[in-house]
Chains A and B, each alone.
Chain A
Amino acid sequence: QLQLQESGPGLVKPSETLSLTCTVSGGSINSYFYYWGWIRQPPGKGLEWIGNIYYNGNTYYNPSLKSRVTISVDTSKDQFSLNLNSVTAADAAVYYCGSTTLTINGAFDIWGQGTMVTVSS
């Protein structure tokens, strides 16, 4: 059973870079069958898709964040990562990593538990 776990700092200063990692267990991140994504949820608000990365390294980002976001994969560690630079208070949210399969093709059927990131000096 595939499982995901987010990790990273819970507090980031304004204008700095938010960096989170999602560790994959119970499956291989290098499998063509899965692809991976990040979603966030500001406190008390709805869900926002950040972007996806495929097994071949191709990435797709939300245009609203594209200039600030990078998603990458480290196959040696079965991890994928999110970097969001120049953060502001508007980036404070619970950040989730998720996975989907070629069968489901974009709906996230596996989610991490989420990690809260606060932006404050």
Chain B
Amino acid sequence: EIVLTQSPGTLSLSPGERATLSCRASQSVSSNYLAWYQQRPGQAPRLLIYGASSRATGIPDRFSGSGSGTDFTLTISRLDPEDFAVYYCQQYGRSPDTFGQGTKLEIK
């Protein structure tokens, strides 16, 4: 199975700053089938990005995804207080689908 490694484990930033989250795959992700989710405490994950760079419906344009092959990035251009949460990447190009271990974005 494809193992996804997210870094950093925790990212401490202030509102208004730029956040860059990384997701590295152990093998190339087929068709760039890579998604990013946000999960706030006590809530279900919310899809932000699919296909590595397509924003899901209703997602603000401060969220952007990039990358291909084995290296992918989620960028949040200007952090809003509601953006502090845990972020997961998922690959769905090769079964079994797998998720990264998560990056916690916390307020500095």
**Chain A residues with a Cβ under 8 A of chain B:** 46-49, 60-64, 96, 104-109, 111-114
Shortest Cβ distance from residue B7 to the other chain A in the assembled complex, whole angstroms: 14
Chain B 77-107, CB-CB to A under 8 Å as 1, else 0, gives 0000000000010101101111111100000
How far, in whole Å, are A15 and B60 apart by their CA atoms in the complex?
Answer: 45
Shortest Cβ distance from residue B29 to the other chain A in the assembled complex, whole angstroms: 11
How far, in whole Å, are A106 and B92 apart by their CA atoms in the complex?
Answer: 6
How far, in whole Å, are A63 and B1 apart by their CA atoms in the complex?
Answer: 9
| A residues near B98, Cβ cutoff 8 Å | 49
| A residues near B50, Cβ cutoff 8 Å | 104, 107, 109
Is the CB–CB distance between A47 and B45 below 8 Å? yes
Show 12 residue pairs from A and B whose CB-CB distance is below 8 angstroms, ordered by the A residue: A46-B102, A49-B90, A63-B96, A64-B96, A104-B51, A105-B92, A106-B33, A107-B92, A108-B45, A108-B47, A109-B56, A109-B57
How far, in whole Å, are A105 and B50 apart by their CA atoms in the complex?
Answer: 9
Is the CB–CB distance between B47 and A105 below 8 Å? no
Is the CB–CB distance between A114 and B44 below 8 Å? yes
| B residues near A49, Cβ cutoff 8 Å | 90, 96-99
Residue of A nearest to B86 (CB): A46
Shortest Cβ distance from residue A63 to the other chain B in the assembled complex, whole angstroms: 6
Is the CB–CB distance between A60 and B44 below 8 Å? no
Is the CB–CB distance between A113 and B102 below 8 Å? no
The 4 closest A-B pairs by CB, nearest first: A106-B92, A107-B35, A107-B50, A111-B44
Chain B 20-57, CB-CB to A under 8 Å as 1, else 0, gives 00000000000001010100000011110011000011
| A residues near B1, Cβ cutoff 8 Å | 63
How far, in whole Å, are A109 and B55 apart by their CA atoms in the complex?
Answer: 11
How far, in whole Å, are A82 and B35 apart by their CA atoms in the complex?
Answer: 24
Known: A108-B47, A113-B44. A47 touches B96 (CB 8 A): no
How far, in whole Å, are A62 and B97 apart by their CA atoms in the complex?
Answer: 8
Known: A46-B88, A47-B45. A105 touches B96 (CB 8 A): no
| A residues near B37, Cβ cutoff 8 Å | 47
How far, in whole Å, are A24 and B88 apart by their CA atoms in the complex?
Answer: 25
Residue of A nearest to B90 (CB): A107
